[in-house]
Structure 1
Amino acid sequence: DPLRVVFCANATHALNLAIGGLLRPGRHVITTGMEHNSVMRPLRSLEAEGAPVTVAPCSPQGVLDPADVERAIRPETALIVATHASNVVGTILPVAELAAIAREHDALLLVDAAQSLGALPFALDDLGADLLAFTGHKALLGPTGTGGLVVGPRVDVARLEPLMRGGTGSRSESQLQPDFLPDKFESGTLNVVGLAGLTAAVDWLLERGVGEVRAREIELTSRLLSGLGELPGVRVYGTRDARRQLSTVSFTIAGMEPGGVGRRLDDEFGIAARVGLHCSPLAHETLGTYPVGTVRFSLSAFTTDADIACALEAVSRLAKTASGMTSPS
């Protein structure tokens, strides 16, 4: 039902809408050890107001055992929040299993699909999610400033409070906020130009096929993971299995700070990489890379074989320099 898609400025906006709109003091929430600060910061804020938070642990590869979530369930558990895939190492979490747990215990499941929507072929029904937050500017290939929250049929809209209230273009005769979807949560003028761009991007993606994009990214990610893993002094994090993760690859080089690696990749090789903690300190604690972080490569539908070869050559040269085997060029 398109009326159950609430457009937002980004996934952070959507996550805050869902978390802040549902949780109240005394309502328990469970999340995972691989979450982005877009989940953790609103949860910690609400925790300070009396909504207890339990973090289910993940393995050092970012893998979640659903049994750890089920063990954390309490009678007052209202919400489970989980990323679909890590923004640090790409590890895919078992959200369908979490959905079954949520239903069994009369809780809701909120999925952070910022990384996965457009990268993995799935439908909301496949996941069993009650709420799904997404952004337009990542795997959906759209402009920044676009995103949304998909509200499933198990969610009582009357219990979901809006983040803000104002003009909606509907029920203009009333000074009260509309109580129906999506208007209840779409106050103010939306980013219409950005959403038009997102529509064009999604049309292109659907024409090519998300499954085809995923298959190609698995191939390239496998090559990158394998190549990095063979380089002396380079450590790769996560599952190191392209079928169990997205095309997000994190690594470090012995003897070099991630920030220094990123600068040299940019300056000497023209390669853009994200370095540090990636707005996910909890995930880095899980991976054992806190507080320094990692270097992150992110592949896309437009990444080529030549890009992978160039990246591997660049990291190889930097690793040799760090180990003193050769001088920088």
Structure 2
Amino acid sequence: MSHVQIQSPKLTILLAAPRGFCAGVDRAIQIVERAIEKWGPPVYVRHEIVHNVHVVERLKRLGAVFVEELDECPSDRPVVFSAHGVPKSVPQEAQRRDMIYLDATCPLVSKVHVEAQRHFDAGREIVLIGHAGHPEVIGTMGQLPQGAVTLVEDLDDVAEFAPKNPHNMAFVTQTTLSVDDTAEIVAALQAKFPTISPPHKEDICYATTNRQEAVKALSRQADLLLVIGSKTSSNSIRLVEVGRRAGAKAAHLIDDANDIEWSWFNGVETLGLTAGASAPEDLVASVIEACQARFAVSLQEVIVSREDVIFKLPRAVTEVQDDGS
């Protein structure tokens, strides 16, 4: 009796490069890991260190305790502030309570904070382009007195905005926005307020920009785009939007391989695959494996840029056990 070999359908996976962890996320996770090594568990973390459920769960297993506010932390344990940044009142409160605290704010977010302060000191009215309620936006607005920063989310907000002095204004942006959407809002602001001061250098971070460029390159050829990232991750949500706009016939945000609905693959010959800046690489590998179990996969990396940025860790977590690890 002869066995008929059923051939798996062919699938080309275009893998975005760069993808996944950026330097700011990498640094934030390392700060929590090293704090646990140095002080032992529990180490408290105010807000999810980065917006990824898998990262958070792994750190919980190591001994991190995630809380939303500082008043949930005991004074005698270290606390880490998330990569998204915090209002100035938070470290002030930690100092008042004599707490050991570590600030894992991404240096590129800190740059926006410094810039906002500079504009404020110069007497300018500040516009922040961003998404209401996002921790990064709360942190940036919380650098300055209430009312000093006006949040603008879309073109309608620009149209309605009436500053006290239209000739003395500046704008900054959240670091994880869509480059294209932001360009549209910036153009509207500059058309309405021709003298508005722009950031010294683009506020949208290099990693957000690079991941969006890689997704654009994939999406022109992809029947389906999968973005690995959590539903709370701003930069991951933007990647789905960018992919759809760039020509992907369908695009979905998934936490991991378990979220895949295989009906999405009907008629699909080319899959575009990427991961948001807070998604670990092992999630990418497991999606590829799940595809290999069902298809004859050929894998191609689509490289738009190479990243070699590394942000230094705070001295508090490097000085005691700096054994070169």
- TM-score, normalised by the number of residues in structure 2: 0.32
Look at both structures and tell me which one has the larger radius of gyration over its CA atoms: 2
- Greater relative contact order (Cα < 8 A, sep 6+): 2
- TM-score, normalised by the number of residues in structure 1: 0.32
